[in-house]
């Protein structure tokens, strides 16, 4: 399987083969909310996707080609498939810990 990977600001989604068993369907379809601006990474048509969570990891099931949008980034069309959503992190050498990248 050719793996599709998309980076959209601080959000990374990568295609996976199957949704993990026992993943819980989420009501919120926004991938990430902005901490300062209130902007969000979201799909133009949220009816075309479902989000899931299992053990703190997030997953997407995309049913139709759907633009992923954000006020500060160009849209990216995400093709149908199953994806893992990954929040980008960076290493803080002073505090010696990984911290979440804020977009």
The predicted-structure confidence for 41-60, as pLDDT tens digits, reads as follows 788 888 999 999 999 999 99
Q: Return the DSSP state at 56.
A: T
CA 11 to CA 86: how far, in whole Å? 6
46 φ/ψ angles, rounded to the nearest 5 degrees: -65, -15
What pTM value is reported for the model?
0.78
Max mean pLDDT range (51-55, 75-79, 96-100): 51-55
CA 90 to CA 78: how far, in whole Å? 25
Q: Return the DSSP state at 88.
A: -
CA 97 to CA 20: how far, in whole Å? 28
């Amino acid at each position: 399987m050719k793996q599709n990977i998309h980076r959209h600001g601080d959000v990374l989604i990568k295609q996976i083969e199957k949704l993990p068993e026992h993943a819980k369907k989420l009501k919120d379809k926004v991938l990430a909310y902005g901490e300062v601006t209130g902007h969000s990474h979201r799909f133009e048509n949220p009816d075309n996707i479902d989000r899931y969570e299992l053990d703190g990891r997030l997953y997407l099931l995309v049913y139709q080609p759907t633009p992923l949008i954000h006020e500060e980034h160009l849209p990216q069309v995400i093709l149908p498939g199953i994806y893992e959503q990954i929040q980008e992190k960076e290493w803080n050498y002073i505090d010696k810990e990984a911290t979440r990248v804020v977009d």
